[in-house]
Structure 1
Amino acid sequence: MKCEIPEFARCCFCFPLRLGLLVWAYVKLVFSLLLLVHFIGLLVSQFMHYYYHARYNYMIISTIIFAIFLSVDIVFHVIFIVSAHTKEYRKMKWFYKEAIVGLGLYIIGFLYFTGYVLYDLNFSPKYIGIFVYILMFIWSIFFWIIISQAYLIMLVRSEALKLERRTNFEFTNRAIDAEEAAIYNNNIVA
């Protein structure tokens, strides 16, 4: 079954596509850097305050995994920003592929955090209201992250296709072709 992915000419229905993508990339880069600093601080505090208990090892491992993912995401955002400024569609396609993988990882992270909160709920049922609130908060955050990531993927695809079409544009001089054909026909007749 085949479906068409829409192509967008504008970002958020009002900004030019490339300008909107650049603003989006810069904002997301800043937030990713802040989140990476937060995860590094969380790792330092986890190593300093927690004793090696099996329950906290999962938190440490998941924090390390998310810090690595954020580092890779930051590198690809820099590549995307450079490609958007220089209008290189090949590097933009690298970011496009990484954004698709990132969407999959966001969905896995959503399932992981949901499972982790439900796992904690089994250990302390007297705090069920707090855990339900935390679960709903996590679900709402991940919902908006997943929707915005999917929209970003479609925007980047639209910009990459637009840039690729512009680079394949060629002029053909039919007058020279006609002269060469006449010369070729005269040589065959003679």
Structure 2
Amino acid sequence: MAELPVFKKCCFCIPLRYGLLTWGYLKLGISTAILIIFLIILSQIPLSHSKDLNIVIMIIVVILTEVVVHCGFIVGVHKKAVKIMRLYFYYALFMWSVTMMAAVVVTGLLSVSLYFTDSSLEIIIFTTTIVAFALSIAVQTFLLLALRSEIIKLRSNCPYRFVKDDNEPEGTITPVSQNIDLTSTNSTEPIQEKMAF
């Protein structure tokens, strides 16, 4: 099975960490703007429309959760906290899965609708929805891989390395110092780089 790529840069031009921070702040800004819009909508709904009120309140709770998660992600990237970043990775993986399932369901429903009504508006809606889901899944996949790469990079920044010496068949773990040649044939990569994510 092929291994997943490990990125060194975000979008091939900026450092990985800064790219993730940019993404985190962008998502936080978008989520906050959407939250404000739904709070305004909530204030305009009369109390007699309880069904609409409940739907808007559920949407606000989901978006508020998203804002809190993005704040945690930003703090984790700033502090280089691998545990927080791993939690966000699992959250992003869950959201990626939800997006994939939603894409399948919506595409199926729109296909049935397109089959029964053959209007140009339905074709435009179908095409736009497919393109939007494809772009969303592509961006989420790239960001999952970038986040995974940053976690692997932070784990491998270890002040220790494994040294296999001819005198000791089992090898030793030694601190990395300035005077040790890291490219010698007796040393291997840091232990954490060999750990699976």
TM-score by length of structure 1 reads: 0.69
Deviation per CA, 1:125-176, whole angstroms, max 9, x where unpaired? Answer: 37x211221121111111111100000000001101111122x433836xxx
Higher relative contact order (CA 8 A, sep 6+): 1
Per the alignment, residue 28 of structure 2 pairs with 29
How many residues align? The count is: 162
Per the alignment, residue 106 of structure 2 pairs with 113
RMSD (Å), alpha carbons: 3.4
Identical residues among aligned pairs (%): 29
Q: Structure 2: give runs of 5+ residues left out of the alignment.
A: 162-173, 176-197
Question: What is the rounded CA distance, in whole Å, between the counterparts of 2:57 and 2:133 in structure 1?
Answer: 19
Per the alignment, residue 185 of structure 1 pairs with none
Deviation per CA, 1:76-123, whole angstroms, max 9, x where unpaired? Answer: 211110011111111100000111000011122223433454566588
Question: What is the rounded CA distance, in whole Å, between the counterparts of 2:42 and 2:102 in structure 1?
Answer: 18
Question: What is the rounded CA distance, in whole Å, between the counterparts of 1:133 and 1:86 in structure 2?
Answer: 45
Matched, 1:149 2:148: no
Question: What is the rounded CA distance, in whole Å, between the counterparts of 1:117 and 1:43 in structure 2?
Answer: 29
Per the alignment, residue 74 of structure 1 pairs with 67
SS where residue 5 of structure 2 aligns? coil
TM-score by length of structure 2 reads: 0.67
- Offset of 1:14 from its aligned partner? 0.3
Q: Structure 1: give runs of 5+ residues left out of the alignment.
A: 174-190
Per the alignment, residue 99 of structure 1 pairs with 92
Matched, 1:7 2:6: yes
Question: What is the rounded CA distance, in whole Å, between the counterparts of 2:58 and 2:6 in structure 1?
Answer: 33
- Offset of 1:30 from its aligned partner? 1.3
Question: What is the rounded CA distance, in whole Å, between the counterparts of 1:116 and 1:122 in structure 2?
Answer: 10
Question: What is the rounded CA distance, in whole Å, between the counterparts of 1:88 and 1:68 in structure 2?
Answer: 26
Question: What is the rounded CA distance, in whole Å, between the counterparts of 1:169 and 1:139 in structure 2?
Answer: 47
Mark the structure with the bigger radius of gyration.
Answer: 1
Question: What is the rounded CA distance, in whole Å, between the counterparts of 1:85 and 1:152 in structure 2?
Answer: 17
Higher fraction of helix: 1
Question: What is the rounded CA distance, in whole Å, between the counterparts of 1:112 and 1:64 in structure 2?
Answer: 24
